[in-house]
Structure 1
Amino acid sequence: MLRKIARVIVVYRHSLAIITLFLLILSAYGLTQLRFESDLSKQLPEDLEAVKSYFTLQNEFGTGGSALIYVKIKSTEEVSDIRDPRVIQAMYNLEQRLKQREYVTDTFSIADLCVQILGRLPKNKEEVNFVLSVLPEKARKGLISEDYSSTIIIVNMNRERNQKALVRVYNDIESDIKRSNFPQGVDVVLTGDLGITYKVLEMLQNDMNRTMAVAGVIVILILLYFYKSPIRMLVPLIPLVFGVVMTLGFMGLLGIPLDIATSTIGAMIIGMGIDYGVHVTNRYYEERAKGEPPEVAAEEAIAETGKALLGAALTTIAGFLALSISTLPSLRRLSITLVMGLGLTALNAVIVTPALAILEEDFRRVVLKKEEIISIGGGEGKIAFIFGKWGAWIKRFPWAALLIALVISGVSFYGLTKVTTEVRLEKMIPMDLPEIKALLDIRSEFGGQDEVYVLIKADDVRDPTLVRAILRFEREVKADSYMNNVFSAESIADEVLQKYGYIPQDKEEISEALKDSSLVSSDYSMTIIKFKGNFMGVTQSEFNRIMEYFEQQIKQADFPPGTKVELAGDAYLNYVLNNLVNEELGKISTIGTLIVVLVVFLIFRKPTIATAMIMPMFLGALWTIGYMGLAGIPFSQTLAGVVSMIVGLGVDYGMHITHRFLEELREGNKTPIITAMESVGPGILVGALTTAGGFLALLTAQLTAIHDFGRVLAVGIFASMFSAYLVTPAILQLEFGRKLKEVRE
């Protein structure tokens, strides 16, 4: 069947080239439709209760996001400290500009307090000191640092959380900051939810372009080294470029956004896709070295290599398809793009590569007047000689190879016990960014400005019994601030107390106190308790403990019957995402592995042969996760599917070795293991180096999540390759070595 298809591809290669060019033009249009996504809520299922509560906060209470503007004295030459009236004036000017923006619901700073207490802006430092002396100590510490070197402006917003809106809002606020006339020596940094999300979006765009460029350079250098010719190098490279452009173009046409996971797709497809073209190219030149004419060599390359490529592509796609069962939209999108990218790249490798190989030979013969033929997969190169020696060693000492694999696995099992998870967005960007430094300073100097909301639903939240229950709950949580890092709290109970000094029994009196409240819905069916503190700046385990504390307090709270109480907000979404990642990790890894094993057994049927093929994927995944634990790399939403991906990729190497071994065995070769390692070993090495090179290109990314993703996948590729060189030939030798010995005797 494959030989017939190969013959059709060779005969109609010019027509197929025209179809490919049409798809490229279509893809070029799709590239203009690509968009980026950095909203955390879009990484979670829409039907999740926490996501529904999150959107309820947005729609009913206008908590569509927040920004913190950090004002710090950088140089004391012109401004001694933050109490300088010129600084207060600039802050007030900035707030007035911000309040004119339709998406800003409220702002708050020391400048507002000065106006409230003095009736105007202060004229000297003594007046600012008077305002600060009126404030309770806790409130003062929450607004201005002890050494008076910094303060904050809190900006509450209600905005659309898409790419265009995010960029517009960020640029608007940056423009307002520049026009507010802060004195020289004062540093003003936009941080918080808005600042960090914008930086993530900006880095996603830059990282995608950078990592694709670096991956391309790495692949080109490796191909130049092995093929020794820039023209011959284009044979496997051009189909790869076609595959990458088509993948990104179809993403734009299908409306698949680029997020933290899918923004790596370009570098990943470059790294993985080159493998297909390399194997077809190597087999073509190997057949030409034997004296076969170009058309026959192309047909043989497609037919013979196609078997291994088809199995490899199917198992890799099977591993990636396991991501599609995830409840996390980001992993489902990654699954679609990877399957589509690998499918397009494999098709281009099989259809375009042979045509280019023949064209390259014609060009060399007619234009360059050269007739030499290269065969890096044959038995005459230095690399092939090394692999031949390796095959001979495996042939003599198969048990030694298995023992080495066992020792490495033992160390990896220890690393497994050290693996953790981390999903918070701010932990995925470099700690030396001004926005992150400012956020860390805010947490250390002002007690933290992270928010956790408790959403309360009832028939009527003005019920005095419910208001008292809210007050009790709020005070109990604040009393445990040493455990939960809560800095301050705000609720309708506080507003009622502020007006009357007590909680009235009359609902109408409570209504009077809440008539201008932003903490209650228009129909009085919902209200929120807003807790502020340092929740996100702690370790993941500490963050989980704090969120679990809130969940436990809600369960134990004495609210009236019929009242529904639940956590909500960005911080809680991070906690829910962390739990989902832990659940998805086990589910996706298990199902992905089972699918790949099933595909291998369905294709090859024989247990020993199938085991020889699948062992590298098991060991590659085990060694990689062990490395993550030892290196302190946590699982994130991006890395949740990494085991399934390594399983899908790792089986390819064992498949190529096994396929060539069986081919040599059928042809009567008495040392098939040596010939198999000699012939496909170099091709696997080139493929692994280029694949890992594509992944290592992700190390140039600024986002820590993408950086770790590339490092882990590169380790996974090398681990799978090394285990294939060790375990697959050893198992094949143990299974068939005795039979071969009997035949020789």
Structure 2
Amino acid sequence: MITQILLAVGKLHRKYHFIILAFFAIFTILCLEEASHLEIQANMEKMIPQDVEVIRNTNLIRDEFGGGDFIIIAIGLDRDSQTRNKVIDIRDPRVLSYIEELENRIKKEPEVSNVQSILDFLPYIPSSLEESRSLIDKNFFARQWISEDYSLTSIRIQTFVASDEKQLNDFVERIKMDVENTGKPSGIKTELTGIVMVRKTLFELIKQDGVRITMIGYLLIFITLSLTLASIKRGILPLISVTLAIIWTAGTLTFLGVPVSVMTIGIAPMLLGLGIDYGIHITHRLREEAGNPEKAEKTLTTTGKAILATSATTMVGFGSLLLAKMPGLRDFGALGVVGMFYAMFAALFCLPSLFLAKERFHPAEKISKISKFEKTVKKFFEFQLKKYKIFLLLCFLMLAIFSSGFKGLTMESSSEKSLPQDLPVIRSMYSIRDNFGGAEMVIAIFEVDKKIYKEIRNKKVIDYIIKAENLFKDEKYVSQVFGLPEELKFNYGRIPEENELKKIESPLISDDLSMCISFISVDVGTDTKKIKELMRNLYRDAAMLSEEGIKIKFAGSPAVSWVTGKLMMQDFSRVTLVALVLVFSILYLDLRSFRRSILVASPLLIALYLTFATLGYLKVPLRPETIGLASTILGIGIDYSILITHRYLEERDLIKGLIKTARSILSSSTTTIMGFSALSFATMLGLKNMGLSMTIGIAFCTLSVILFFPVILYLGDARKYKRE
């Protein structure tokens, strides 16, 4: 049935190619218009399921306390300043007055729910440096806001801008204006950092990298096509075909409301590298059939049928990501499925018409029967099959040597690691960590059951919070804890009695008096092991203090990173297993042979093994952007062995099948590698890792298909097939 459908499509190409091209031109224009409204998503929280406890807690903080995100304004000494009477000690009253004026400006911004600084712990601003030094040094809480060398302090701005990227950019610009318009004393400098600034920087880099890597991808692939096909002209039609697929994909996904994010920004060069394979195989076969009036029909019923199978396995590789729990991974899967469908569709339903229309003006030159390349390939494969034991030994040696690489495999879930480490926002964050012991914040939520405790302002509840905070303070990586007990001690010098508690008001208490929050400053950076250890210990402490009527919940960026890491591991296992099952099922449906399906899949499994071992050797971590690596390689890498198998069965001769597919496979695999290599030119480290990981994976797939698959097919099928 599929053959009959492809035959009918081939006839349509032959008779109505200009009409077909006109239809696709109109569709492309409509998609271009829709793609101009493509949205960008830089909020990592939206790449995690919203029903996860940590995300629910974060949203709860935003609803009840006005914000769970922070901007940190680092205020430090400017060592390069040459002005007279400059500030030489951050405790200088001029700095404190500057902080007060800046805070007053910032508090007027509608998105700001709370502002914290050293001023919260000082009864007044001293009039001299000596008085300021004495006042701060005697105050435990104030000292926590000053670096040990008295060169740095900070302002923490609690805000809620996570749901709107336009609001985020506008808010950050207003904060910058507040900083610029506040007259700072000579000898100090300011820098904005914190999770909000990381998100804003990520948003800007997504736009920059999207354009850069796509343009570089086009350049690399065009050069590769010109070299591998030995002609610039022969690479133009496949490029047009895959460009149409990219435009259609962008338009369709904009229509469906799928945004571009850190995990999906690299889809354009990926589609360039992957989708162009289909165009290469189709144009190669059309040139083989030059002079045949029914070349379109012949091409689609042979090579076209193989492309249906290969595109199906690639779409399955991406489609398995739709079963992931992480929305960002599902978006990546959706992009891949739609993009590969359009790449296949353009190659089968548009490219033959382009070829035939071009032939009207410039007739295609028929490929010679035996080229120099084919003679060389024939000698290699004949030697390979004759000396197959050498190649089998090479395979086993590589598997044994690479096995130790798995020890170095790690996972990295922090969004901060997606950014270049030399950016000002990242350097400032590291400075905060070095001087204050942590730029990350875990937020502990204490919630009471109103059936047992009428409100949070209860002496017994406060005592419970003190016990919890003391446990938290003793944990490794915790540098500071500030909550309601600390605020009460500072304001009253003690914990007030029951009747006094009922009168207090605090921004740390929710409006309905059922909750309060404590801020836990931690020094875990982006270290996955530290984050995991910290969060496990905090949850253990909460369980140890189990008290009827009181619950402890956690939120904040380290908690989000911890949950992301757990979801990554679950999703990696799930989507890889599903991809394996689905790819093998498609192989069986296509080849109608369990034995041949195993043979065709075997080089891919070898390639996966070598890929992950190499990543371990190179210390390249698995990140949210690369967690679908295995399933994607499963879908992509199987294409080459499918094409060889189809041609081998068509020619009824393994050597002929290998010769006929060698050039197109080398061309398509090289362009795929170039497409992924374009990601290495991105600014974001996550995209670079993705490009490196996929490049290694496709390179091993190509190597495995060339060095090992002919031997596997020869031993497992070809000798038996030849006898039959």
Q: TM over 0.5, yes or no?
A: yes
- State the Cα deviation string for residues 419-459 of structure 1 (Å, max 9, x = none): 11111111121111111111111101112132111222221
Residue of structure 1 aligned with 2:294, choices 257, 272, 296: 296
Q: Is the CA contact (8 Å cut-off) linking 1:616 and 1:653 kept in structure 2?
A: no
Answering whether residue 468 of structure 2 is matched by residue 462 of structure 1, we say no
Per-residue CA shift, 1:385-438, capped at 9, x if unaligned? 332222112221223222222222223332223211111111121111111111
Give the distance between the partners of 1:511 and 1:129, measured in 2 at CA.
Answer: 36
CA distance in structure 2 between the aligned counterparts of 1:538 and 1:163, rounded to whole angstroms: 24
User: Which of the numbers 337, 340, 352 marks the counterpart of 1:339?
Assistant: 337
> Hey, what does 2:24 align to over in structure 1?
20
Verify: 1:67 aligned to 2:71, yes or no. Answer: yes
* Structure 1 residues 172-251: aligned runs within 5 Å: 172-182=174-184, 186-251=188-253
Counterparts of 2:309 and 2:692, CA distance in 1 = 26
8 Å Cα contact 1:117/1:131 also seen in 2: no
Partner of residue 380 from structure 2, selected from 377, 381, 390:
390
1:742–1:155 Cα change, 3 Å: closer
Q: Give the letter aligned to residue 509 of structure 2.
A: V
What CA distance in whole angstroms lies between the structure 2 residues aligned with 1:496 and 1:409? 63
Compute the TM-score of the two structures, normalised by the length of structure 2.
0.94
**46, 53, 59: which is aligned to 1:55?**
59
Q: Which residue of 2 aligns with 1:102?
A: 110
Pair 55,358 (structure 1): closer, same or farther in 2 beyond 3 Å: same
Return the letter of the residue paired with 1:395: L
Q: 1:674 to 1:299 in 2, by over 3 A?
A: same
Structure 1 residues 493 and 202, CA gap change in structure 2 (3 angstroms): same
Give the residue type in structure 1 aligned to 2:714.
Q
Q: Is the 8 A contact 2:88 2:187 kept in 1?
A: no
- Contact 1:415/1:627 (CA < 8 Å) preserved in 2? yes
Residue 484 of structure 2 is matched in structure 1 by 492
Q: Deviations over 1:286-322 (max 9, x none)?
A: 122xxx33x4223222221111101100111111111
Note if 1:524 corresponds to 2:532: no
d(CA) in 1 for partners of 2:553 and 2:232?
62
CA 1:150/1:530 → structure 2, altered by over 3 Å: closer, same or farther?
Answer: closer
Q: 2-side partners of 1:581 and 1:573: how far apart? A: 12
2: CA distance between counterparts of 1:172 and 1:10?
A: 61
Contact 2:483 2:508 in 1 (8 A): yes
Q: Residues of 2 paired with 1:379 and 1:87: CA distance?
A: 81
Match of 2:552 among 540, 549, 565: 565
Matches within 5 A, 1:536-551: 537=525, 539-551=527-539
What's the counterpart of residue 394 of structure 2? Answer: 404
Structure 1 stretches lacking a partner, 5+ long: 366-370, 666-671
Aligned ranges 1:509-520 → 2 under 5 Å: 509-513=500-504, 516-520=505-509
SS in 2 for 1:453: strand
Correspondence for 1:368: none
CA distance in 2, matches of 1:524, 1:628: 51
Q: Is the contact between residue 445 and residue 554 of structure 2 (CA under 8 Å) also seen in structure 1?
A: yes
Matched residue type, 2:74: Y
SS at structure 2 position matched to 1:609 = helix
Partners of 1:80 and 1:701 lie apart in 2 by 40
Contact 2:414 2:526 in 1 (8 A): no
Residue deviations 1:483-542 (CA, integer Å, cap 9, x gap)? 2x2222222333444455555663x432213xx21122111222222211213x152112
List per-residue Cα deviations over 1:137-169 (Å, max 9, x = no partner): x642x3232333322222122335321111111
Residue matched to 1:306: 304
- The Cα shift of 1:11 comes to 2.4
Aligned to 1:379: 370
Q: Does residue 88 of structure 2 align to residue 81 of structure 1? A: yes
Distance change in 2, residues 1:280/1:549 (3 Å): same
How many residues are aligned here?
Answer: 711
| 1:622-674 per-position Cα deviation (integer Å, ceiling 9, x unaligned) | 11111111111111112111100000011101101111111111xxxxxx232
State how far apart, in whole Å, the 2-side matches of 1:135 and 1:65 are.
Answer: 28
Query: Which region of structure 1 is more displaced relative to structure 2, 546-555 or 13-22?
Result: 13-22
Within 1, Cα distance between the matches of 2:95 and 2:44? 35
- Does the C-alpha gap of structure 1 residues 603 and 737 become closer, same or farther in structure 2, counting only changes over 3 Å? closer
Whether the 8 Å CA contact 2:35–2:251 is kept in 1: the answer is: yes
Counterpart residue identity of residue 12, structure 1? Y
Q: Is the 8 A contact 1:379 1:678 kept in 2?
A: no
Question: 2:458 corresponds to which letter in structure 1?
Answer: D
After superposition, the Cα gap between the structure-2 partners of 1:20 and 1:584, relative to the gap in structure 1 and judged at 3 Å, is same
Aligned to 2:610: 623
AA aligned opposite 1:546: L
Query: Match of 1:668?
Result: none
- The match for 1:133 among 130, 137, 141 is 137
Query: Matched residue of 1:107: which SS?
Result: strand
Q: Which residue, out of 22, 27, 42, partners 2:46?
A: 42
Q: Secondary structure at the match of 1:633?
A: coil
Check conservation: 1:85, 1:125, Cα contact below 8 A: yes
Task: Output the amino acid matched with 1:557.
Answer: L
Residues 563 and 695 (structure 1), Cα distance of their counterparts in 2 relative to 1, 3 Å cut: same
Matched with 2:125 is 118
Structure 2 CA distance for aligned equivalents of residues 87 and 491 of structure 1: 26
- Give the match's secondary structure for 1:566: strand
Aligned-partner Cα distance in 2 for 1:676–1:184: 77
Hey, what's the Cα distance between the residues in 1 that align with 2:229 and 2:576?
37
Mapped to 2, the partners of 1:350 and 1:77 lie a distance apart of 69
Do 1:453 and 1:567's aligned partners in 2 also have CA atoms closer than 8 Å?
yes
2:121 and 2:495 mapped to 1: Cα distance? 27
Tell whether 2:593 aligns with 1:588.
no
Q: 1:741 to 1:216 in 2, by over 3 A?
A: closer
Q: Separation in 1 of the partners of 2:132 and 2:492?
A: 30
Deviates more, 1:613-622 or 1:124-133: 124-133
Alignment-derived partner of residue 447 in structure 1 = 437
Amino acid at match of 1:118: I
| Residues 74, 153 of structure 2: 8 Å contact kept | yes
Question: In structure 1, what is the Cα distance between the partners aligned to 2:723 and 2:422?
Answer: 66
Alignment partner of 1:118: what SS? coil
Amino acid at match of 2:511: S
- Please state how far the C-alpha of 1:342 moved relative to its aligned partner: 0.5
Kindly report the root-mean-square deviation, in angstroms, between the aligned alpha carbons of the 2 structures.
2.2
2: CA distance between counterparts of 1:240 and 1:593? 27
Rounded to whole Å, the distance in 2 between the matches of 1:200 and 1:568 is 21
Aligned to 2:317: 319
Q: Which residue of 2 aligns with 1:329?
A: 327
1:284 to 283, 286, 294: 286
Give the letter for the 1:300 counterpart: K
Residue 649 of structure 1 pairs with residue 621 of structure 2: no
Judge which range, 433-442 or 672-681, deviates more: 672-681
Q: Aligned equivalents of 1:221 and 1:724: distance in 2?
A: 24
SS in 1 for 2:413: coil
- Alpha-carbon separation, structure 2, partners of 1:143 and 1:505: 29
Partner of residue 33, structure 2: 29
Distance 1:682-1:197 versus aligned 2 partners, 3 A rule: same
Match of 2:354 in 1: 356
CA distance in 2: counterparts of 1:8 and 1:562, whole angstroms:
73
Q: Is 1:477 matched up with 2:472?
A: yes
Shift of 1:56: 0.2
Instruction: Report the residue type matching 2:238 in the other structure.
Output: P
Unaligned runs of 5+ in 2: none
SS, match of residue 33 in structure 1: coil
1:712 equivalenced with 2:693 (yes/no): yes
Range that drifts further, 312-321 or 384-393 = 384-393
Question: 1:555-592, CA deviations, whole angstroms, 9 ceiling, x for partnerless residues?
Answer: 11142x13222222222111111111011111111111
* Alignment-mate amino acid for residue 717 of structure 1: I
**Residue of structure 2 in register with 1:10 after alignment:** 14
In 2, Cα distance between equivalents of 1:131 and 1:381: 87
Matching residue of 1:145:
147
What letter is aligned with 1:437?
R
Q: Which one of the candidate residues 673, 690, 694 is aligned to 2:675?
A: 694
